[in-house]
Amino acid sequence: MRIDIITCLPRLLDSPFSDSILKRAQLKGIVEVEIHDLRPYSTNKHKTTDDYAFGGGAGMVMMIEPIDLCISKLKSKRTYDEVIYMSPDGELLTQSIANELSLKHNIIILCGHYKGVDERVREHLITREISIGNYVLSGGELAAAVVADSVIRLLPGVLSDETSALSDSFQDGLVAPPVYTRPAEYNGWKVPEILLSGHQSKIEEWRHNNAVKRTEERRPDLLKSSNSED
């Protein structure tokens, strides 16, 4: 899989992809992540990528031309399944969207900034708009990193324990059950006996029951909806 991220603040995306699981996924050749600075695509003398909004008002708007030039250059090299715009008014990111995106080959993610992008970008160049939550960030970069992370960790071979992404919260419409590690007792606080028993089917039953209980207590909305993530 290949993910191209277009941004006017490329340094913001340096660290999320240069550590741990996301770095390993790239080193293993499972995913290629390229960050594209929008500025060189500006055709004006100051290399700016934003301008005042027609009609006035506070806040700058990202211009269509550098974005179009950057996307066109990428599209001249390969076909893209999705061109995603990160925006607080997009569809809310869920595990099922991450699952869906993990099956794509090539995606572009455009990070918004300032007051957003010229609406013609959204009308003509974007195939999908995603929000990571009902709050406003200063830009789409952190949101793009969240989307990329949620997708990349699902790619076969990225997680060392192949089954571990499947047992994540939300994958089966339930949040994950409690987990424990050594020591079995700390300060008199004990790990549930059943987890030390070695009885695998009983342990699975305990985990399932506790996932249901925890979902009822913390995220009853997941149980109510037929599509557990909506």
Chain residues in the site for ligand ADE (CB under 6 A): 86-88, 112, 131-133, 135-137, 140, 143
Q: For ligand ADE, which is the closer residue by CB, 131 or 215?
A: 131
Q: For ligand ADE, which is the closer residue by CB, 136 or 184?
A: 136
Tell me how far, at minimum, the Cβ of 177 lies from ligand ADE, in Å. Answer: 29
Q: Compute the radius of gyration of the chain from its Cα atoms.
A: 21
Tell me how far, at minimum, the Cβ of 5 lies from ligand ADE, in Å. Answer: 12
Tell me how far, at minimum, the Cβ of 156 lies from ligand ADE, in Å. Answer: 27
Tell me how far, at minimum, the Cβ of 85 lies from ligand ADE, in Å. Answer: 8
Tokens of 199: 């009885």
Could you tell me where the beta strands, DSSP code E, fall in 2-150?
2-7, 32-37, 50-52, 60-62, 82-92, 106-111, 128-131
Query: How many angstroms separate the Cα of 211 from the Cα of each of 19, 42, 170?
Result: 30, 51, 10
Q: For ligand ADE, which is the closer residue by CB, 146 or 175?
A: 146
Residue with the CB atom nearest ligand ADE in the bound state? 143
Q: For ligand ADE, which is the closer residue by CB, 74 or 147?
A: 147
Q: How far apart are CA 223 and CA 226, in angstroms?
A: 8
Tell me how far, at minimum, the Cβ of 119 lies from ligand ADE, in Å. Answer: 16
Tell me how far, at minimum, the Cβ of 87 lies from ligand ADE, in Å. Answer: 5
Contact between residue 165 and residue 154 where contact means Cβ atoms under 8 Å apart:
yes
Q: How far apart are CA 149 and CA 162, in angstroms?
A: 16
Q: For ligand ADE, which is the closer residue by CB, 70 or 110?
A: 110
Q: For ligand ADE, which is the closer residue by CB, 34 or 91?
A: 91
Contact between residue 88 and residue 135 where contact means Cβ atoms under 8 Å apart:
yes
Tell me how far, at minimum, the Cβ of 111 lies from ligand ADE, in Å. Answer: 8
Q: How far apart are CA 2 and CA 25, in angstroms?
A: 11
The answer to whether the peptide bond before residue 220 is cis (omega within 30 degrees of 0) is: no
Q: For ligand ADE, which is the closer residue by CB, 66 or 116?
A: 116
Contact between residue 49 and residue 74 where contact means Cβ atoms under 8 Å apart:
no
Contacts of 187 by beta carbon, 8 Å cutoff, 6+ apart? none
